[in-house]
Structure 1
Amino acid sequence: MSSDSLVADQTDHPGEKIAVVAAGAIPWRIKKDRLEVLLIHRPRYDDWSWPKGKLDPGETVPECAAREVEEEIGLRAPLGIPLPPIHYHVPAGLKVVHYWAVDVDGAALRPDGKEVDSVMWCAPEKAAALLSNPSDRTPLEHLVAAHARNELHTWPLLVIRHAKAKPRSSWSKAEGDRPLAATGTRQAQAVGRLLQAWKPPRIVTSPWLRCVATVAPYAKAADAKVKLNESLTEHLHGRSPHKTANVVEALFDKERAVALCTHRPALPTVFAQLGRHMNSRLRALLPANDPYLTPGEMIVCHVSHTKGKVVAVEQFRPFDD
């Protein structure tokens, strides 16, 4: 999934330019062994819907979804698996709304009272009947199907290529000390904002300065634990790529959200190891050609708690200079 799609890819609107981009989520929980989803009521429209809203300037789609969920129902929770976007026409033209699943996980909800005056937990079947916009049933159906396959309860594993560094040709000191360029510093800030959508509590990174500086804004803002691993550097990967693969494999052991930051030459090894934990359809979504990711770009793998396998893959570039 790209964060900068401007053309509809649905058969209902082939090639039509998108005029309005929005994002939101379907909050869910398990109560008495049954799946429930959260509908919101918007007094302005007198409708039942999911938390969602339009992108702010400079905002990525995941950031928008996380922000809207917090603003409308007071929930600060990481995004789960992506759900199919919906397309429909508004006065400005074609509108697309990107959706994610969000596990409420027992958190208290606080509707803002203005945009959302009430919420309702209900079974998916009841929600489908109450939704005012029939298009909103599409992401709901996907969420229900994912639950049936044990692919709804997941944790995110994120892979980040470090932000843009100063050119090698203009750096005469130790390679590990080569810092970010001015563009890279701005990219690192954007990476930090985007990571808030998944809120990983730990980061595993190459100890080289350009990687550490890329994850530093997020680590500071989120008080995330940072672990430096030499096997993620260019030099050690070149000598022992299997050790880089072992670092990736170890991320699956703890079954909780984590971000990994490394260098372009190590990315093929990282993706190959990730590919061992997913089916062929998802493996085809992983970058296969050099440079694999642009500086500051990231891959998000959603890993099923039940299956221990990657069940969804996303790709985002948070900053373009």
Structure 2
Amino acid sequence: MLLIQRSSDPEEILLGEFDIIAAGAIPWRIVDGELRVLVIHRPRYDDWSWPKGKLDDGESIPECAKREVREEVGLQLRLGIPLEATAYTVNNKAKVVYYWAGQVLGDTAPKVDGDECDEARWVGAKQAKSMLTNPTDALPLDDLIDAHLAGLLDTRSFILVRHAKAKPRANWTREEGQRPLAATGRRQALAVARLIDCWQPDHVASSPWLRCVQTITPYVTERNLKPKMVSSMTEHAAQRKPEKTVKALNKLLDKVRCQVLCTHRPVLPLILPLISARAPQAVRKLLPTVDPFLEPGGMIVLQQPAGEHERIVSIEIHAPYND
């Protein structure tokens, strides 16, 4: 199973097989109307590049990107649009590096670790391009610049989660809405929380059925958030009054804010067409079209430009954690 699929990546990345997987981000900010990015100097290679590194055991790719920025330059990020991944060969092994735009939260002054990175500079995008040592590092920067010029860099994430693995339906004799997560699902819920935190949504909506609530509980507990229960997102509501489910989803999308929605597999066929209608062909072609659409604990991450509820500019699909 693919760990990740992103609308920003070319076919050779989407279909490729890699021995080494790494991730990073381009921290950005706007200063006096100018796009500035953070470039770093790596003493081990004596090059100018971006904060990036290989995955730790059990770590998701977005988690790796966020962690590398925190460790190397001491900045806290909220991931934004995915940027083009780069692929190359290292010691006869195929390597891929996934990138995201990273909106800095709080203090923007870098604090280098002195090991992986001994210098970091906020510079204009044009200057950054001239400083980069490896030509492939310019690919994600070009994506970032293009998004900025098009007004699509400042985005809000909408995260659609299928609840984690529940106890088998056939073995459950009580009320369907009270069917809980299985032991595997409870572990998945912890991984879902870590992954969701890469985008740090401040708003959480969920079907009120227990397995959805349990899926998002680790995240809302960690962030001290109060989730909104949306009754039209249950399996039964979607079957009996699908028009209400569609209306509720449209209402959430129209808010254009960093948010997450947890729901059920049978609800996805109503939701996915609404997402598709707001995305261009190059983006929506990544959406799943075959049941079950997402595995338990899987998620789709959308990016909406600030203030533009009718547009979705990127899509990512993340496979669930399986132990």
- Fold conserved (TM > 0.5)? yes
Residue 249 of structure 1 corresponds to 250
Return the offset for 1:14: 11
Q: Deviations over 1:68-90 (max 9, x none)?
A: 11111112221110011111222
For 1:47-126, what aligned pairs fall within 5 Å after superposition?
A: 47-91=47-91, 93-104=93-104, 107-108=107-108, 109-126=110-127
Residue 317 of structure 1 corresponds to 319
Q: Deviations over 1:39-97 (max 9, x none)?
A: 01122222111000100011111110011111111122211100111112222612111
> Do structure 1's residue 130 and structure 2's residue 131 form an aligned pair?
yes
Residue 279 of structure 1 corresponds to 280
> 2: CA distance between counterparts of 1:236 and 1:52?
44
User: Residues 283 and 16 from structure 1, CA distance in 2 versus in 1: closer, same or farther, beyond 3 angstroms?
Assistant: closer
Please, which moves more after superposition, 64-73 or 272-281? 272-281
Please, which moves more after superposition, 77-86 or 90-99? 90-99
Contact 2:27 2:77 in 1 (8 A): no
Return the offset for 1:158: 0.5
Q: Deviations over 1:4-50 (max 9, x none)?
A: 58xxx978899874221110001111111111111011222221110
Residue 176 of structure 1 corresponds to 177
> Do structure 1's residue 154 and structure 2's residue 155 form an aligned pair?
yes
Residue 259 of structure 2 corresponds to 258
SS of the aligned residue for 1:136 comes to helix
Fraction of identical pairs, as percent = 47
> 2: CA distance between counterparts of 1:11 and 1:106?
36
Please, which moves more after superposition, 177-186 or 203-212? 177-186
Residue 165 of structure 2 corresponds to 164
> 1: CA distance between counterparts of 2:173 and 2:13?
53
> 1: CA distance between counterparts of 2:103 and 2:10?
27
> 2: CA distance between counterparts of 1:306 and 1:47?
38
> 2: CA distance between counterparts of 1:3 and 1:12?
15
Residue identity in the other structure for 1:65: A
> 2: CA distance between counterparts of 1:236 and 1:4?
31
Q: Which runs of 5+ in 1 are unaligned?
A: none
Residue identity in the other structure for 1:319: Y
> 2: CA distance between counterparts of 1:125 and 1:258?
33
Return the offset for 1:253: 3.6
Contact 1:84 1:139 in 2 (8 A): yes
> 1: CA distance between counterparts of 2:12 and 2:216?
40
Please, which moves more after superposition, 261-270 or 119-128? 119-128
Residue identity in the other structure for 2:40: I
Q: TM-score, normalised by structure 1?
A: 0.93
SS of the aligned residue for 1:104 comes to strand
Residue 194 of structure 1 corresponds to 195
User: Residues 105 and 17 from structure 1, CA distance in 2 versus in 1: closer, same or farther, beyond 3 angstroms?
Assistant: closer
Return the offset for 1:138: 0.7
> Do structure 1's residue 215 and structure 2's residue 216 form an aligned pair?
yes
Residue identity in the other structure for 2:62: P
Please, which moves more after superposition, 148-157 or 243-252? 243-252
> Do structure 1's residue 45 and structure 2's residue 40 form an aligned pair?
no
Return the offset for 1:248: 1.4
Residue identity in the other structure for 1:234: E
Please, which moves more after superposition, 22-31 or 120-129? 120-129
Residue 298 of structure 1 corresponds to 299
User: Residues 183 and 106 from structure 1, CA distance in 2 versus in 1: closer, same or farther, beyond 3 angstroms?
Assistant: closer
Return the offset for 1:224: 2.7
User: Residues 54 and 268 from structure 1, CA distance in 2 versus in 1: closer, same or farther, beyond 3 angstroms?
Assistant: same
SS of the aligned residue for 1:30 comes to strand
Return the offset for 1:126: 1.2
Please, which moves more after superposition, 53-62 or 102-111? 102-111
Contact 2:78 2:102 in 1 (8 A): yes
Residue identity in the other structure for 1:74: G
Q: Which runs of 5+ in 2 are unaligned?
A: none
> 1: CA distance between counterparts of 2:205 and 2:126?
41
